[in-house]
Amino acid sequence: MESKQKNIKKIGVYTSGGDAPGMNAAIRAVVRTALYYGLEAVGIMHGYEGMINGEMIPMDSRSVGGIIQKGGTILKTARSETFKTVEGRKMAYEQLVKHNIDALVAIGGDGTFTGASALLNEFDIPIVGIPGTIDNDLIGTDLTIGFDTAINTAIDAIDKIRDTAESHDRIFIIEVMGRDSGLIALKSGIASGAEAILIPELKTDTEDLFKKLSDVRPDKLSKIIIVAEGDEIGGHEIATHMKKRFPHFDIRLSVLGHIQRGGKPSCQDRVMASRMGVAAIEALLNGRKNVMIGIVNNNVHYTPFYNSIKHLSEADPVFIRMSNILSI
């Protein structure tokens, strides 16, 4: 590939916001692709906070050896209130200049790209983003890094809880991650045969839920209800209401929590993260900036940050309809 950005010699890579399985695979791909094209690679520790503090470490091929199978991020991640200010971003840019960093690869979600866009607009440093978030809530890619692993982790836990539910004739309300997006709940709920799925994109009608639980297979005493943490009522409230409405049922609440973020990334997340890492470096060398790398219909896709950071606000009606049909 012929480089169109002759002035790029050193690239910094960082992870920001919530960690996601597959981030290490993306870091590995970014570093090794940079080296392949004769560039220097620098890892920026602790996201934007580390950028402000000058936590830069040179990286070579060995630096990223043996990490593709590891969850989390070797570069660590942190949220930074200071970076949200103009003064904070100026401090970060001064550190980039001090360390001769010519371009950046940002791995994270909408908060990461919001910060990257502000830094680029104020100081015109080329930045390309890689979507790393288990919520899969960014526009411009079919899947984000970490989503496939997260839903498989959730499914594994739900399957195990169902074993207990059926053994004791219990109703389990299982809360999964998804503050703004119900995709983890929707996909894992369908895959695990949940009797009901509650997500933030749809208004929760408790009366409809209770009627469904009473009318659909009333002889089946063990049921699974999946609730996204961002649902307007939430798992705790649903459990409280259900215990009052159905005192004869044995109702339990299980919150999966951060277990969904950890663990070894799936094959799909590893391969996708690797592909995005290669594409990010090649995008920078071809003069692209202020864009997020995505995979759409198996093709590399470039979405401007100002579009990618907008949350998907509507659940796919196909999956909603499917969950309603299959839960009878």
SS (H, E, C) 154-189: HHHHHHHHHHHHHHHCEEEEEEECCCCCCHHHHHHH
User: How many residues does the structure list for the chain?
Assistant: 328
Q: What is the pLDDT along the chain (328 residues), one digit of tens a residue?
A: 444 455 899 999 999 999 999 999 999 999 999 999 999 999 999 999 999 999 999 999 999 999 999 999 999 999 899 999 999 999 999 999 999 999 999 999 999 999 999 999 999 999 999 999 999 999 999 999 999 999 999 999 999 999 999 999 899 999 999 988 899 999 999 999 999 999 998 888 888 888 887 777 777 778 999 999 998 888 999 999 888 888 888 999 999 999 999 999 999 999 999 999 999 999 999 999 999 999 999 999 999 999 988 766 577 888 889 888 888 7
Catalytic residue selected from 19, 102, 110, 135: 135
- Report the sign of the C-alpha dihedral through residues 78, 84, 87, 92, in that order: positive
pTM exceeds cut of 0.85: yes
Give the count of beta carbons closer than 10 Å to the beta carbon of residue 306.
12
Sheet with 10-15: list strands edge to edge.
56-59, 40-44, 10-15, 103-108, 127-131, 291-296, 299-304
Residue 119: per-residue pLDDT: 96
Please confirm, yes or no, whether 135 is among the known catalytic residues.
yes
Could you tell me which residues are beta bridge partners of residue 302? 293
Give pLDDT, residue 316: 82
Please tell me the predicted confidence (pLDDT) of residue 222.
87
